[in-house]
Amino acid sequence: MLAGSNAFPATPNRAAALLVSAALGAVLAGSAGAGEQTHRVHGLFCNTEDQVDEALGHMSGSVPPRVAAELTNDEEIVCTYVDLLHFIVEQPVIIGEIPGALPLVKYEAKLVGVVVGASVRPVSPPAPVFFIAHERLPGSVVERRT
């Protein structure tokens, strides 16, 4: 169990542990590579693209993103909805776009840090992460997947 949190149970899954530790304020001191542009973002974050797609499926039924993340977390924590703090990502790649009244953009990126209050906490090593957000991030590369 992470200190200061009883909201998430302990999990042996390394990827889930990385996601949870980042969400709860793991430790970012210059982890962006030289010349890498970083982005501070909110949104629904998951360990894999399939998990993002599962959460999007829940959301298509008018389920709020926070609830969609909870529904996707069947046996372990694999998704989280980040709205009260910021995740810092680099190398965002647009891997899909979801049209609608409120269009969404699906990304793959490297999670390099978390902003908690006024503190920036690093995620080291950077963790691969998939997420959806309402905006296109400047400098994002578009990757077409079939």
The answer to whether residue 116 is domain-embedded is yes
List C-alpha distances in Å: 114 to 19, 63, 86.
Answer: 11, 26, 6
The answer to whether residue 114 is domain-embedded is yes
The answer to whether residue 31 is domain-embedded is no
More confident residue, 100 or 3: 100
The answer to whether residue 101 is domain-embedded is yes
**112/32 Cα distance (integer angstroms):** 7
Give pLDDT, residue 101: 81
pLDDT-above-70 percentage for the chain: 74
Antiparallel, parallel or unpaired: β 38-46 and 79-98: antiparallel
The answer to whether residue 96 is domain-embedded is yes
Give pLDDT, residue 25: 34
**49/62 Cα distance (integer angstroms):** 20
Here the tokens at position 120 are 């920036």
> Residue 41: which of 81, 89, 79 has the closest Cα?
89
The stretch 125-135 carries a mean pLDDT of 95
- Domain count of the fold of the chain: 1
Residues of the domain holding 109? 44-136
The answer to whether residue 65 is domain-embedded is yes
State the DSSP code for 19. H
Place of tokens 């962006």: 32
The answer to whether residue 67 is domain-embedded is yes
Rg (CA), the chain: 15
Give pLDDT, residue 2: 30
Convert the pLDDT of each residue in 22-67 to its tens digit.
333 333 333 445 457 899 999 999 999 999 999 999 998 889 999 9
Phi-psi sector, 75: left (phi>0), alpha (psi -120 to 50), beta: alpha
